[in-house]
Structure 1
Amino acid sequence: MSSDSLFKFARIAGVASLMATAGLLSACQVKPLYAVSTGVTQKLSEVSFSDAGSRVGQEVRNQLIFIAGRGAGETKTPKYTVDLSVSAGTAGVLYLPSSDTSGAGRTSVTAAFTLKDAVTGKVLKSGSRSVTSLVDFPTQEFAKHRAILNSEDRAAREVAEMVAADIAAALSR
């Protein structure tokens, strides 16, 4: 094979691969999850959330209502319902033998949810999300209690965002 025919072959192969890549990329359709054209924003505003059984559960619920309603509050006529179960716990992880206490800990918040059609009761999505938030334990008891509450609130906000994303993805289908 001469260098001229080799150059011609390489050029044809390059053009062919460029055309194939362009064809593959044109088949990709990436849309924002909350795009108006998908209708997810409207569907999210029609979601109702079950009552909470704890303070952390209420934090998760409140955040979900805020995300779903875009700050407008909970819908009066839900087309979808979410059964929500939230658990939380804090444990020490950095043991200090000199004072027989923990200097740091981690708070875990887990939210299990089931998204249903309000009319038929058909389950559209169910799942569970968990978030761990780290916390330092000060020596003063009130400050320690306040640090744990703040850690629970941070984890509750994060787990609510994950659950909201799962619900939005299920409603976009």
Structure 2
Amino acid sequence: MACAGLAGLGLAGCGFQPLYGSNSTTASGAKLSETMAAVDVQPIPGRVGQKVRNELIFANTGGGVAAPQKFKLRIAIREQVINQLVRISGDAKGQVYQLEASFKLIDASNGAVIHQGSAVSRAPYSRYQEIFANVRARYDAENRAAETVSESIKTQVAAFLASSA
């Protein structure tokens, strides 16, 4: 406990600042939470795309009203299912749902791409004889992957905006 306190004191003077702290600011001095609320997440096609978008909107605004748009976030996703544990009969006992997303952060005032990146998530799930169980397992895997990808994108965008906006 004392070591953690000493480490905290040691970092206090070096300019270290938590990314998601209540007093986190951008390089220009604006509150990071307000800057993130000004990011307009563009629609993404498909159920999983909508899930990623909703997760990002909620993470950026906290469920409140979005600030006037300063940035646009365009995201393209690619989905893939990978069979695992394939039996001699050719049936897969398990599958991995893979979600890849590439994104561009665009300055809304001039349309210039100011940051881009990508995120990947893999969510394994088991296959069963019951059709409904397979559908539900796949949906759960898609939701887990969407949450992971949206968190990764949010962190990358927040880190960029904290250091340059």
| TM-score (structure 2 length as normaliser) | 0.83
CA distance in 1, matches of 2:121, 2:98: 6
CA distance in 1, matches of 2:151, 2:141: 16
Aligned residues: 148
Q: Which of 74, 78, 89 is the equivalent residue of 2:80? A: 89
CA distance in 2, matches of 1:140, 1:89: 22
Q: Indicate the percent of aligned positions where both proteins have the same amino acid.
A: 30
Q: Amino acid of the residue matched to residue 160 of structure 1? A: S
The Cα offsets for residues 18-47 of structure 1, whole Å up to 9 and x where unpaired, read as xxxxxx967622111023241211100011
Shift of residue 76, structure 1, vs aligned partner: 6.1
Runs in 1 of length 4+ with deviation above 3 angstroms?
24-27
The Cα offsets for residues 105-143 of structure 1, whole Å up to 9 and x where unpaired, read as 101011110001110222221011101111111111121
Larger radius of gyration: 1
| Structure 1 portions without partners, runs of 5+ | 1-23
In the other structure, the counterpart of 2:38 is: 46
Q: Which of 68, 72, 82 is the equivalent residue of 2:64? A: 72
Q: Which of 14, 32, 55 is the equivalent residue of 2:18? A: 32
For the 8 Å contact 1:63–1:157, the answer to whether it is kept is yes
| Structure 2 portions without partners, runs of 5+ | 1-9, 26-30
Secondary structure of the 1:62 match is helix
Which one has a larger percent helix, Structure 1 or Structure 2?
1
In the other structure, the counterpart of 1:109 is: 99
In the other structure, the counterpart of 1:16 is: none
Classify 1:101/1:110 alpha carbon distance in 2 versus 1 (closer, same or farther; 3 Å).
same
